[in-house]
Amino acid sequence: MPLNPIFNKLLETDFDRMYFSLNIDQLREYYVKSWDDFKGDTIEVGSVSNCTVKTSIRDTPIRIYYPKAKGARPVFIWIHGGGFSFGSIEVYDSICRSITNNVNCIVLSIDYGLSPEYKFPKPVEECYQVVKWVYENAKELNIQPDKIAIGGDSAGGTITAVIAQLSRDRGEFPIAYQVEVNTMFDLLGETKPLSRVENAKGYRLTVEANNTFFVPNYLNDLSEAKNPLASPLLAVNFKDLPAACIITCEYDPLRDEGEDYARKLSEAGVDVCLKRYDGMIHGFFNMQRTVKEARDALALVCTKLTEAFHL
């Protein structure tokens, strides 16, 4: 399909130039404000609680959204996007509220440490430890410990996929379901995905920005991109992982690695729901106010979580 014209004005911005003309604090401020015209409205949920979890990395801020329903509920743990360098709980607040109400579950959002201050593998380990804390404190949090799902957008999806693999390998807590949206599964494109050529520039996230800004900010050395804890598509074993919902879009340089990850999971016997949204660009998922396909993708995520939680 042709690119949806709703993105025409947004794509007039020279994002690559911006990454190297502004400092990291300016970029983070711009990133947060850039969502104001796109993200969904702040809707009421049962209650919202902000607190911190002590991890070996730092005291990690989290936000917990409770539905209006009483009693122990399943939980969906959300890991925000932003190329490991940008983003926050606030950017995806409306997404988390929508999931809370539509799935009737608890949603917990992690404000993990950003790079370059917190480089690989610190964000992975930090988020893993938060999930472990949720499992170990399920009773106090009013959470059903056998119904913990995790998910994320973009870099948050990368961390999500790694945690799902670590959960299987370490055996410290179970994951019931995983959701990855527009995710970077192969940090430097070691698997040569065609979409990194077809969609290299002109669609908001560019291959140049990824390879010369985001990934170098995140990794201590580019050789770490071959590590499956950084690039989960490069893992050896895909068996016994939790069922997954993987969302890709047509004009995303990360499209093919997401679909390749879905294929590898399916070949390993994992139940996978894969959906590509044509005419869309990277980041469309959080454009709930302006993009119909974003609302459709969120509805799909809510449906799959409801099924996974047997609600």
Q: Could you give the residue numbers annotated as active site?
A: 154, 252, 282
Contact indicator for 277, 247 with CB cutoff of 8 Å: yes
Structure tokens belonging to residue 39? 């993200």
Contact 305, 105 (CB under 8 A): yes
CA distance 170 to 197: 36
Residue from 290, 296, 297 nearest 8 by CA: 290
Three-class SS state of 238: coil
**Which residue is associated with the tokens 């940090």?**
187
Buried b (16+ CB within 10 A) or exposed e, 113-148: bbbeebbbbbbbbbbbbbbbbbbeebeebebbbebb
Residue 229 contacts by C-beta under 8 Å, 6 or more apart in sequence?
120, 121, 124, 162, 166
Centre a 10 Å sphere on the Cβ of residue 14 and count the other Cβ atoms it contains.
9
Q: Which residues pair with 12 in a beta bridge?
A: none
Count Cβ atoms within 10 A of the Cβ of residue 279 and give its class: 0-12 exposed, 13-18 middle, 19 or more buried. middle
The residue type found at 128 is Y
Q: How far apart, in Å, do the first and last CA atoms of the chain sit?
A: 36
